[in-house]
Structure 1
Amino acid sequence: MNSANSTGVSRRSFMRILGAASAAATTFPALAAAQNAAAAPAQSGRRGMGGMSDMGETRQLSADTVIISSNENPLGPAKSALDAICTTAPLGGRYHFDETMKTLTVFNELFGLPKAGPKQPSYSALFPGSGGPLDLALMSNIGPDKPLVYGDPSYEQGFRAADAMKAPKFPVPLTATYAHDVKAMLKAHPSPGAYYIVNPNNPTGTMTPKEDIVWLLNNKPAGSVVIVDEAYHHFSNDESCIDLVAKDKDIIVMRTFSKIYGMAGLRAGFAVARPDLLQKFQTVSPAGRSLASISITSSAGARASLLDKDLVPLRKKINSDIRSETLEFLTKKGYKIVPGSQGNMFMVDVKRPGKEFQQAMLKENVAIGRSWPAMPNYVRVTVGTKAEMEKFQTAFVKCMDMAPGTVNGASLYMPEYHVPSELYRGMSAV
């Protein structure tokens, strides 16, 4: 075991890490936005209420709008989670830190991680959502002399954290199969602070083989870490990288309950890493040492979800079936998709700027996801319910039949259109 573990976090300081409450999901991304605002005022609106955001903010949309824009799970929390939340809520008058420790213990046991105790700091930390700890993982390992290497296109929180930390950025195009090109990532810079891999990737839903990630771990320069964001892993058929944490590798794995577990609004997520890497989270900001704890209801819901053996396979099949039916429809119609998605989203070529098409779909009461600069004519679509995807299909064909330029994409940024999106971190909540 890594010698650094002997000087890992104490139980008290560890509780501060795992006890990062709702502020963890808002404060650190908001810190990034605030720092970006100071460095580049023209970009400050990207994550606030007035800009195109992406995480379920004020939804000024009609009640019948199909919302398949932010990779949420339309099924919501499982019954097992709801029962646990209802049972636990009456205890809310007390702090109950032991409730978090119970969830932590269940998670560690399920993934074969060392049992936490007074003499053994935990290899995982529980947070309200994965947005805050993802920023902590990134920001604690990058800086002006420690660049970030990441795939392109991929989830934007990586390069936004780099902007906040004034870390040089090295985006690397995906491979022909839309996997992270780990060999090109290794060549991108001789001594980066971190490599960021989203697996399945957001927005493409495609996989980077685990053996590629292991190769990167074995060949990367000393002092750097590999951050693997497994927000959508439960939808995939591939192996997780969490076992590499138990082997004391230089890796941080992120997990969330917002996706397959349907707890996006309840906020629960894990950071999984060696204790010394978790300890580094506290170096990002003094606030990281004084955040309140995750709510006992969210913790109980997360624990019940982990112990619900039928939840993941059932929801994985539901998602896979509806995704396959939708992609088959699009393919038969002659539309071009990004193949190989194993997530609850996919990308489709709309033959025009994605922002314009997104606005056209919104006029049909279907809110779809955004486009990425590396693929400006593709839009990301979340897999909704069967009924929602049928409405999507009708609206999609109608909008594709429109001539490009029919709808002005710039109107998407008007205040009355707040399309939900997973990038939002509510500046007003800070």
Structure 2
Amino acid sequence: MEVTKCSSEVSRRNFMRWISAGAAAAAVVPGLAPNAFAQQMAADTTPRRRSGMPDFSHLPPDAVIISSNENPLGPAASALAAVGQVGVSGGRYDRFGVAAATVKTISEQFGLKPGYVELFPGSGGPLDMALMSNISPSKGLVCADPSYEQGPRAAATCKAPLKMVPLTKTYAHDVKAMLAADPNAGAFYIVNPNNPTGTMTPKEDILWLIKNKPKGSVVIVDEAYFHFSNDESVIDQVVADQDVIVMRTFSKIYGMAGVRAGFAFGRPDLLAKFQTISPEISLRNVASVSLFAAAAAHASLLDPKLVPERKKINTDIRESTLEFLDKRGYKIVPGSQANMFMVDVNRPGREFMGNMIKEGVVIGRSWSAMPNYVRVTVGTKPEMEKFQTAFVKCMDMPPATVSASLHAELDMPSELWRA
């Protein structure tokens, strides 16, 4: 099989990133007292910028962190119980086939044949693999603007032509404009619900793109936030053997951002292309899921109450917050079906973010296509109440020039690592 013309040096660096991310799974062991662990982390003064994650050590303990689309509820009780059960076997490899059982369970839930699903430590790594295995200097990538930045970064890595297409007036992916932007693209990347807007692209639009795209290209649909929405998935297009790769993660509604587990759905030949990114590295060696992550993921899939209960909690808090903002005349991006939303702050988002940090609330950043909007993650009810108070106070402040060095570490999009 031909090796994708991405730099093997960069590919090795990406693989090492996935390895480091997967190692975080050990943090979910129920036997580790959270308070003791927090104290240990607080005492560790080692700089964490090298990990690729923002350093929040300078913030007060009661700071509200609603910047990275994490789920404040954490892993479900069923997931933690499963980790506790397999914990005693953690000194050995997965001899009982927990990871295989997880793949089998989700395959059966979606009616997929064997070989159409692969389990990874998070979904950031396989997303890179899906992108990079289908683009090259001669095969471009088409993305929406604004949307999740991992697509453009993959294009830069592979030196692939990149086309950024504005969202529609309803903040959906403009699939016809995306096809027109590069009729010979190797991949079209759709995030649904979209990050950062939280808005949906209708399934019929995605089906149109699948039908009309150039032969040999793929449509990559990132459904990281899909469990929060009311629309239909396109995993059925994988069942139908279409040129589609769908990504799912346990970092969002399942509350397992630090545990690292995610799925890639696709025809076996499309998933096999993941192996072509680097001729020197085997995915079996570097992208294997830990026993703890597999057990937590499997238990979460089998928990019938988890998704509906958490979806309702998120929806209720999100809509209550948006109602608060709307009643006070603040402009929001309508139609979010995710655990985030965007709001216009009438000034550079970086400046507003800095003011909010001073109030003990860390919100998300802005995008170049919408520089005066900031993204806000939906937290717990008390967290969003604190956000509301800080937001009104900061909106009442006159716009001002902000130092270029203000909390620069927070500019790095941490969800690039699916955290």
Is 1:77 equivalent to 2:75 in the alignment?
yes
Question: What's 2:226 paired with?
Answer: 233
User: 3-state DSSP class of the match of 2:286?
Assistant: coil
> Which of residues 86, 89, 103 is equivalent to 1:88?
86
Q: Are positions 1:295 and 2:294 aligned together?
A: no
Change (3 A) 1:167 1:217: same
Are the equivalent residues in 1 in contact too, given 2:76–2:306 (CA < 8 A)? yes
Per the TM alignment, residue 128 of structure 1 is displaced from its structure 2 partner at its CA by 0.6
Which of 305, 313, 319 is the matching residue for 2:314? 319
State the shift of 1:55 in Å.
Answer: 4.8
Given the superposition, is the C-alpha separation of residues 261 and 217 from structure 1 closer, same or farther in structure 2, using an over 3 Å criterion? Answer: same
d(CA) in 2 for partners of 1:313, 1:102: 23
Q: 1:359 to 1:92 in 2, by over 3 A?
A: same
Which residue of the partner structure matches residue 218 of structure 1? 211
Query: CA, structure 1 residues 422+304, in 2 after alignment: closer, same or farther (shift >3 Å)?
Result: same
Residues 175, 363 of structure 1: alpha-carbon distance in 2 compared, 3 angstrom cutoff:
same
1:422 Cα offset (Å):
1.4
Q: Quote the Cα distance in structure 2 between the aligned partners of 1:56 and 1:310.
A: 33
Find out whether 1:341 has 2:336 as its counterpart. Answer: yes
Matches within 5 A, 1:101-140: 101-114=100-113, 116=114, 122-140=115-133
Structure with the larger RCO, 1 or 2 (CA within 8 Å, 6+ apart)? 1
56 and 303 in structure 1: CA distance in 2 versus 1, 3 angstrom threshold: farther
1:423 aligns with 2:416: yes
Q: Partner of 1:408 in structure 2?
A: 402
Q: Does 1:393 align with 2:392?
A: no
Equivalent runs, 1:257-272 vs 2, <5 Å = 257-272=250-265
Q: 1:354 to 1:171 in 2, by over 3 A?
A: same
- Aligned equivalents of 1:278, 1:184: Cα separation in 2: 27
Contact 2:66 2:364 in 1 (8 A): yes
Q: What SS does the corresponding residue of 2:264 show, helix, strand or coil? A: strand
1:246-285 to 2 correspondences below 5 Å: 246-285=239-278
State the TM-score, normalized to the length of structure 2. Answer: 0.86
Corresponding residue SS for 2:172:
coil
Contact 1:194/1:225 (8 A) holds in 2: yes
Q: 2-side partners of 1:401 and 1:132: how far apart?
A: 41
Q: Secondary structure at the match of 1:70?
A: coil
Distance change in 2, residues 1:370/1:175 (3 Å):
same
Aligned to 1:197: 190
Show CA shifts across 1:157-216 (max 9, x none): 000000000001000000000000000011011210100000000000000001110110
What displacement does 1:21 show? 9.2
Contact 1:23 1:292 in 2 (8 A): no
> Counterpart in 2 of 1:42?
none
Q: Distance in 2 between matches of 1:336 and 1:173?
A: 19
Aligned to 2:30: none
Give unpaired runs (5+ residues) of structure 1.
Answer: 1-6, 8-19, 29-47, 117-121
TM-fit CA distance, 1:152? 0.3
Q: Which moved more, 1:91-100 or 1:152-161?
A: 91-100
Contact 1:27 1:132 in 2 (8 A): no
Q: Does the CA-based 8 Å contact 1:366-1:395 persist in structure 2?
A: yes
Alpha-carbon separation, structure 1, partners of 2:84 and 2:226:
28
AA matched with 1:76: G
Partner AA of 2:173 in structure 1? H
Deviation sequence 1:29-88 (CA, Å, 0-9, x none): xxxxxxxxxxxxxxxxxxx9659x985656442211100000000000000000001101
Partners in 2 of 1:303 and 1:313 — Cα distance? 17
**Is there any run of 5+ residues in structure 2 with no aligned partner, and where?**
2-13, 23-46
Contact 2:365-2:411 at 8 Å conserved across structures: no
Matched AA of 2:281: A
Q: 1:219: Cα distance to partner? A: 0.5
Cα RMSD for the two superposed structures: 2.4
Q: Amino acid of the residue matched to residue 219 of structure 1?
A: N
Q: TM-score, normalised by structure 1?
A: 0.84
Say whether the 8 Å CA contact 2:48–2:54 is kept in structure 1: no
Give secondary structure in 2 for the equivalent of 1:412: coil
Check 1:254–1:409 CA distance in 2 against 1; reply closer, same or farther (3 A cut).
Answer: farther
Q: Percent identity?
A: 66
